[in-house]
Amino acid sequence: MTIRTGAEFMAGLRDDREVWYDGERVRDVTAFEPFAASVRSLATLYDMQHDPQHRDILSVDCPEFGERIARPFEIPRTPEQLHLKREAYRLWAEATCGMMGRSPDFLNVMMASLAAKRSFFAEFSTERADAMVAYYRHVAKNDLFLTHALLDPQLDKGKLRHQQDDPTITLHVKARTREGLVVHGAKRIATAAPYADELLVWPFPPTFQPGEEPYANVFAVPMNTPGLKTICRPSFSHPGRRRDYPLSAQFDEMDATVVFDNVLVPWERVFLHEDIGLLNRMYRDTRMRELTAHQTNVRLETKLGFVYAVLLRVAQAAGIDTRADVMQMLGEAITNLEAIRNTTRSAELQATVDPDNGVLYPDLPALQCGRALGPTVYPRAVQMIRRVAGGGLVQLPNSMHEFDSPIGGDLEKALRGAGIGGRDKAQLLRLAWDICGSEFGARHELYEMNYAGDYGALLAGIQREYLRKPYYLAHLDRFLDSL
């Protein structure tokens, strides 16, 4: 089995995994109402891989596998491959309006990037490098859906992991056995964990200090691994109410804390362990940033484009889309959208081949612009919708079904706009509310603000690692020398 259908994806989730919601154990995540709509949305993405209209973009015959694999798993070596990967990301992002940050392609391309840098893991041992490549092949051949858990519990931020009042809370190695590592403790925020096939664990940010070696591990486990508990946040979904909550009724990704209770991780699934030096280098030296940011920037472009279209339609419905201040705002939204859009295309045009593995990597400085701009331009776009829609977001019907009730005629008159009927305007504003006023919308704004970690640290890192810094400094020095 290589390219799964939606039905096969859903069948794989009925595996007796231990998922908890509101103090109760969920027995079937595919049928549980707070998860079911998101699971169906993900299943639709898998079915798209079999649609003749999309098949040759979303999947590819791969000589290295001797069979067809999902496009994100492909390790790019040509400009055409990079271009097709972007198009695959775009198709899936458009299917979810950019609202699913953990669609399967994100971790798929991360696994490809880690396997492509086998040499990095070989610095620890040949066995760990072989394990990483074998795991990537396993995931690709079975078209699995992965999520990851990166963050530690928010304990005392003034102390290191091993200095906490209870240093066993954070996930750590408890024992090494002939069969593998025994790990214990918690990780957060594992988005989509209740209905992922597998969980990739590695710590972020990579700032380990001496004494924290037991916490510096990279491994993967199936979600139904004995001793692994998935504990969910409240759902922001509105099942069965797509007209009233057009986005959250379909795309609310569940976030979860994952708790490991003396879990055995077999050696073939351990890729690094108890090595703070390698762990601190992994994010940079595996070059995962280049390939994953290629995907995330496409998703952000799609999301911003969707929000821009909503903003424009709301302005048109209010009859203010040609007003000077609104035109200026719309122009700003377009500028931000195009800045994100151009990160991927510029990165592809400036891509370079790594002599270590022959992989064609998109340009990192270009992609970093998307990581730096995303935390500001998405909240700004949401703010624009609030400003343009104004009080219209508050005075909405309880449900779109009210238009079919005895008061439907009154609503139709009261809610009409410029060249748009009351029903259609209400539908548009309910969509706008789901973006900027619902719990789902608030979660997405927070998600984009914190996607790349601490914003100051992100910008400082971009300055520290800027690849074109020597070029511009050399130009300045030549000018100064000429004086």
Same domain, 163 and 295: no
Same domain, 22 and 161: yes
Same domain, 50 and 187: yes
pLDDT at 206: 87
pLDDT at 453: 84
Q: How far apart are CA 314 and CA 373, in angstroms?
A: 24
Inside any domain, residue 409: yes
Q: How far apart are CA 421 and CA 38, in angstroms?
A: 31
Q: Are 120 and 286 in contact (CB under 8 A)?
A: yes
Inside any domain, residue 271: yes
What does each of the 483 residues of the chain score in pLDDT, given as a tens digit? 589 999 999 999 999 999 999 999 999 999 999 999 999 999 999 999 999 999 999 999 999 999 999 999 999 999 999 999 999 999 999 999 999 999 999 999 999 999 999 999 999 999 999 999 999 999 999 999 999 999 999 999 999 999 999 999 999 999 999 999 999 999 999 999 999 999 999 988 889 999 999 999 999 999 999 999 999 999 999 999 999 999 999 999 999 999 999 999 999 999 999 999 999 999 999 999 999 999 999 999 999 999 999 999 999 999 999 999 999 999 999 999 999 999 999 999 999 999 999 999 999 999 999 999 999 999 999 999 999 999 999 989 999 999 999 999 999 999 999 999 999 999 999 999 999 999 999 999 999 999 888 899 999 999 999 999 999 999 999 999 999
Same domain, 272 and 306: no
Closest C-alpha to 432, from 377, 479, 483, 391? 391
Of the residues 264, 283, 302, which one is the last residue of a structural domain?
A: 283
Residue type (1 letter), 165? D
Same domain, 189 and 56: yes
CATH code, 409:
1.20.140.10
Number of domains in the chain: 2
Residue where the block lists tokens 């590592």? 181
Same domain, 323 and 434: yes
CATH code, 178:
2.40.110.10
Inside any domain, residue 42: yes
DSSP secondary-structure letter at 160?
-
Inside any domain, residue 474: no
Question: Domain range spanning residue 94?
Answer: 6-283
Sign (positive/negative) of CA torsion 141, 88, 80, 133? negative
pTM for this one?
0.96
Same domain, 275 and 341: no
The encoded tokens of residue 369 equal 């612009």
Same domain, 301 and 279: no
Same domain, 60 and 182: yes
Of the residues 259, 283, 307, which one is the last residue of a structural domain?
A: 283
Same domain, 267 and 361: no
Same domain, 46 and 115: yes
**228 phi and psi angles, rounded to 5 deg:** -95, 120
Inside any domain, residue 120: yes
Inside any domain, residue 205: yes
Closest C-alpha to 379, from 321, 447, 316? 447
DSSP secondary-structure letter at 3?
S
pLDDT at 1: 54
Closest C-alpha to 72, from 40, 116, 104? 104
Inside any domain, residue 467: no
pLDDT at 385: 98
Same domain, 270 and 385: no
In 163-320, where do the E strands start and end? 172-176, 180-187, 198-201, 217-222, 228-232, 256-266, 270-273
Inside any domain, residue 465: no
Of the residues 283, 314, 334, which one is the last residue of a structural domain?
A: 283
